[in-house]
Amino acid sequence: MRALWLSLALLVGAAQVVAAQDAPVEVERAADARAERIASWREALELDLAGEVLASVAALEGGAASLSADGEALALYASALAASGQRDAARRALRSASEDTTERAAIDVALAALDLDEDRLAEVEARLAEEDGSVRAELQDAPRAWFLLGRARVRAGATGRARVPLEAFVERWPRHADAPAAWHMLAQEALERRDLERARECRERGAELGRWHAYYRTRRLQCRANPDAPEPRIGLAQLWIAAEDWNRARAELDPVLTRHPEACAAWTTLGELERKQGRLAESRAAYARAVACDPDQHVARFALGLLLVDAGEPEAARVELEALCDDEHAGSDRRFVGAHLALARVLVELGDEKSATRRYARYRELGGTEALEASR
Amino acid sequence: MRQPPLPLALAAFCLLAACAEEAGPADFPDEARARGVDYVNRSGRPEKATILEANGAGVALFDLGGDGDLDIVFAQGLPSLDALTTGPGADLAIYENDGRGNFRRLPGPGLSGWWTGLAAGDVDNDGDTDLVAGGFGALRVLWQEDGKLVPGPDLIGLPPYDEDAALVPGRPRAAGKPPAWITSLALFDSNGDGALDLYVGQYLDLDPVDPPLGELGEGALAVPCRWKGHEVYCGPRGMRAQPDRLLWGAANGVFWDATRDALPGHQPGFTLGVLPFDADGDGDTDLFVANDSAANLMLVNEGNGRFVDHGFETGLAYSPEGMPEAGMGVASGDVDRDGFLDIALTNFSDEPTALYLGVPTGFKNATFRYGLGNETRPLLSWGVHLVDFDGDGWLELFTANGHVYPQADEPLTGTSYAQADTLWHLGPEPRARRFEPLRDDSIFAQPTSSRGSAVGDLDGDARPDLVVTRIDGPAALGMNRTGAKNHRLELVLRGPEGYPDDYRGRRTPRDAMGARVEIIMDAKDELPRLRGEVQTASGYQSASAPWLHFGFGERTGFEQIRVFWPSGATELIFAGPADRRLVIQEGQGIVERRDL
């Protein structure tokens, strides 16, 4: 009997040790789940799908009450309520935050957003700014605090006072979803000061970012509509490449390449990503894979041809560039007009002056203006 | 020939008597049915599977027959998209006023189409008001002859457009050829020659034979047409916007397309609202173009009928946060009485109706300072007017409301399909105060789904009334019963008669379109003056009366009226009493006066 108790005690002890060992794993898992949930709520709100957030909150064990200690989650929930026309409920939700709520700043910013929705411009100022007008110390790392303070001031007609928080916002969070709006408000502020050059610059920055975000939004909608399709994710990767955020580009691209190696455009995009990062060998390999996958990956073939030129491999470059220039469609596509010039120069290098002249003539015919000799 | 003013005098007598009995609440009772207006709008099927079915129809108020009262013409759509190909098409609906605000339906002009926008003005300078009707694949001038509207030139295929721009209901049509879709129209004088020109607002390419349903794009890159998670009709985002057009007129009904010269670099932008007004106070007429989901245009007239867009520089292109909003309708007026014309612009739900105050450098957004952000955010608004309805000297803001998506009634959208129309007082305090309806039959009492709207004094009591079209439903006549104790003045302006062929130089159109008026109540008083401008195009797809209404509040008269004619002439009218309708003709001063 004693032996049995001992065995049981050992078993319980072992279980406790295992449980204690598992505890950090569970905490980690919970943290991962929360991060994933926060990210998905944030995206849903950006895509005007507040209902998804509300449904997700309702499905949580404990419902909305379970969020009381999580300031960021509570703020997103409140945003979803407000977007669904339930501003009073949003306010109540934010007030339900417990004393020990993490990320208190998120609650304050969400309350300021509600004030702004209700045209309580002075309250926004009081909530977000110190007496000297600067962003409150505890909100310094909350991007929307800076943005909302600027927005409230613009709405109040105090455009000049909006400048400082808005300039800080676009500098610290240049690709934030609200950055195009901030640039626009800065442009209006510059116009009021009659600083036309700055106004133009701000306008262009805002418009460029606005286009990027519009594409980004569309791609995410496409991803939601066709979760397994490679095309939208390749588009997202291209957007991150344009934004020079290599990590996020790769994060979009890698799963596509794994699950859809037949998606030839993904290899082209990978080639572009590698090239932008200066990894020319990897870039070349990716482009070659793209062309092997689909001979009509003209962008890849063009880039591959140029890489081969730069690598001092004119014969190989000639093959790729000739294939491109002689293609029925790509050969007359103005996007690839440079291929004709590159080919002409390769041919000169290879001593085939006659063919070079012919290729150069075609380049000019397509509107090219550079001299054949320029590269020498 | 204008008829003797006897009916008006009778009407005035009757209405004064009616006023004496009018002890009811100060409101806008809907008296459409009681007054004989039985128009019911048709705009496709209730489920609104395509964007054409959601936009509704406009209305025009103008004097048909020259008897001094306002008659009503409604645009009309069809019961389904299929009817476009099977026919028959719809005609315009005309209602004749008996001078006391009671109406009788007249036979239509015999048109066949899906009609959307209307513009009113004296196109041929013969002294009566003509009409231009726009539609889905249609743009038609209607001459006023002997009190009737007679179909005139078809402008839809005017070069550089071709026959594909036209859509004739019942005529077979191949897929892939979207017709020209006309929305708001504006008759105004762009080049100061005294002949009315026509701005043609156009929306987007919609193929009636093969319209997009459920999603835009193809394959994996298709984007589902959804709003707040609900499947809705597609557009305008993702569809192709049609460019607007500016047609120059020759005062004889001949128009030619001057878009290339007059609107250089014009960018298509899903136009829904068009407002001609003198934005910069330089005496010529500029244009504000409200675009749906694209930058609005502030087309500043260079003085010769050529326009340059200053939307960005004037702060009107985007929301204050730089977002292109769904501009629907637009109106102007001097809200803060500072001498600069201001603009009200209606938008989609979650996008407040915007108020822009004119300042020396352009416009400054005052939406949120006036509290309109919170007030209007759930509303999707179309027709809009800045008019002193209650006669206290300060303008009110009217918006005709109703959502485009029936799915707005689903839970958690924060809005609804049917929405009550709204009115706000905007002065003297710079804060919007909502007008609360006092009676069940008020046009502001019941949620409906409004679209076009027009303003004019229908019953001759000098109080501007409202006519509102409701999609798939009966129109409303909001008879103005507010401000009974306030004094008012109604002005009717007229340009010179005749149009000499050899005339060179600036000239006022016969219907005085573009004339501006300033009323000084008391030069010693600090109270700012009142301002108005003769234009009929305002709101959404509609034409209001060209008469100017001024509220004097408790004041019983004015010290001076200044009229700035488009010809460049200025005319002064000295001290006079209120509560009158004055007809002022260029160079001749007051040619008719009538007590109200």
CB contact set of B74 (below 8 Å; sequence gap of 6+): B39, B41, B57, B58, B59, B92, B93, B95, B469, B475
CATH at residue A281: 1.25.40.10
Q: Residues of A with CB below 8 A from B432's CB?
A: none
Residue A124 lies in a domain: no
Residue A11 lies in a domain: no
Q: Which residue has the higher pLDDT, B324 or A152?
A: A152
What single string gives the DSSP state of each residue in B398-434? Answer: EEEE--S-GGGGSTTSSS-SSB--EEEE--SSSS-EE
Q: A85: nearest CA in chain B?
A: B414
Residue A79 has pLDDT above 80, yes or no: yes
Chain segment B301-360, per-residue pLDDT in tens: 999 999 999 999 999 999 988 888 999 999 999 999 999 999 999 999 999 999 999 998
Tokens of B467: 């006519």
At residue B252, the pLDDT reads 83
Q: Is the CB of residue B397 less than 8 Å from the CB of residue B355?
A: yes
Residue A376 has pLDDT above 50, yes or no: no
Residue A12 lies in a domain: no
At residue B356, the pLDDT reads 97
Q: Among A238, A162, A239, A229, which residue's Cα sits nearest to residue A202?
A: A162
Q: What is the DSSP letter of B349?
A: T
Angstroms from B423 CA to nearest CA on chain A: 18
Chain segment A96-146, per-residue pLDDT in tens: 988 888 888 999 999 999 999 999 999 999 999 999 999 999 999 999 999
A214 and A272 share a domain?
no
Phi, psi of B100 (to 5 degrees): -115, 15
Q: B432: nearest CA in chain A?
A: A119
Residue A263 lies in a domain: yes
B374–A119 CB contact, under 8 Å: yes
A304 and A362 share a domain?
yes
Of A85, A154, A231, the CB nearest to B220: A231
Q: Is the CB of residue B573 less than 8 Å from the CB of residue B560?
A: yes
Q: pTM score, two decimals?
A: 0.90
B377–A231 CB contact, under 8 Å: no
A164 and A233 share a domain?
no
CB contact set of A150 (below 8 Å; sequence gap of 6+): A162, A163, A165, A166, A169, A182, A185
Last residue of a domain, one of A173, A193, A225: A225
Residue A12 has pLDDT above 60, yes or no: no
Q: Among A337, A357, A292, which residue's Cα sits nearest to residue A319?
A: A292
A234 and A219 share a domain?
no
* Cα B566 to the center of its chain, rounded Å: 21
Q: How far apart are CA B373 and CA A156, in angstroms?
A: 12
State the best of A125, A153, A155 to mutate against chain B, taking most chain B CBs within 10 Å. Answer: A155
A329 and A363 share a domain?
yes
A315 and A360 share a domain?
yes
B323–A181 CB contact, under 8 Å: yes
Strands B487-494 and B381-387: unpaired
A201 and A247 share a domain?
no
Chain segment B348-402, per-residue pLDDT in tens: 999 999 999 999 888 999 999 999 999 999 999 999 999 999 999 999 999 999 9
Angstroms from A314 CA to nearest CA on chain B: 38
Q: How far apart are CA A241 and CA B414, in angstroms?
A: 37
A112 and A178 share a domain?
no
Q: What is the dihedral of CA B141, B144, B148, B151, to 10 degrees?
A: -20
Burial of A226 (0-12, 13-18, 19+ CB in 10 A): middle
Dihedral sign computed on CA atoms, order A29, A31, A32, A38 = positive
B369–A232 CB contact, under 8 Å: no
Residue A370 lies in a domain: yes
Strands B487-494 and B580-585: parallel
Chain segment A254-284, per-residue pLDDT in tens: 999 999 999 999 999 999 999 999 999 999 9
Q: How far apart are CA B334 and CA B358, in angstroms?
A: 8
Q: Among B131, B178, B164, B139, which residue's Cα sits nearest to residue B257?
A: B139
Residue A184 lies in a domain: yes
Average pLDDT of span B80-90: 93
At residue B2, the pLDDT reads 36
Residue A5 lies in a domain: no
Q: How far apart are CA A363 and CA A340, in angstroms?
A: 5
Strands B580-585 and B589-595: antiparallel
CATH at residue A351: 1.25.40
Least confident of A229-238, A302-311, B287-296, B314-323: B314-323
Chain segment A25-77, per-residue pLDDT in tens: 777 787 888 999 999 999 999 999 999 999 999 999 999 999 999 999 999 99
Q: A228: nearest CA in chain B?
A: B220
A232 and A303 share a domain?
no
Q: Residues of A with CB below 8 A from B366's CB?
A: 157
Average pLDDT of span B207-220: 91
The domain of A211 spans 134-225
Q: Residues of B with CB below 8 A from A203's CB?
A: 312
Of A118, A206, A222, the CB nearest to B374: A118
At residue B46, the pLDDT reads 96
Residue B135 has pLDDT above 50, yes or no: yes
Q: How many domains does chain A have?
A: 4
Residue A2 lies in a domain: no
At residue B10, the pLDDT reads 39
What mean pLDDT value characterizes chain B?
A: 93
Q: How far apart are CA A180 and CA A185, in angstroms?
A: 9
A273 and A320 share a domain?
no
A231–B228 CB contact, under 8 Å: no
Last residue of a domain, one of A237, A271, A294: A294
Chain segment A288-330, per-residue pLDDT in tens: 999 999 999 999 999 999 999 999 999 999 999 999 999 999 9
Last residue of a domain, one of A274, A294, A314: A294
Interface of B with A (CB under 8 A): 215, 219-224, 226-229, 312-313, 315, 318, 320-323, 350, 361, 364-369, 371-374, 377-378, 412-415
Q: Among B546, B526, B528, which residue's Cα sits nearest to residue B536?
A: B546
A188 and A241 share a domain?
no
At residue B212, the pLDDT reads 94
At residue B52, the pLDDT reads 97
Average pLDDT of span A339-355: 96
The answer for A313, left when phi > 0, alpha when psi is -120 to 50, beta otherwise, is beta
A334 and A254 share a domain?
no
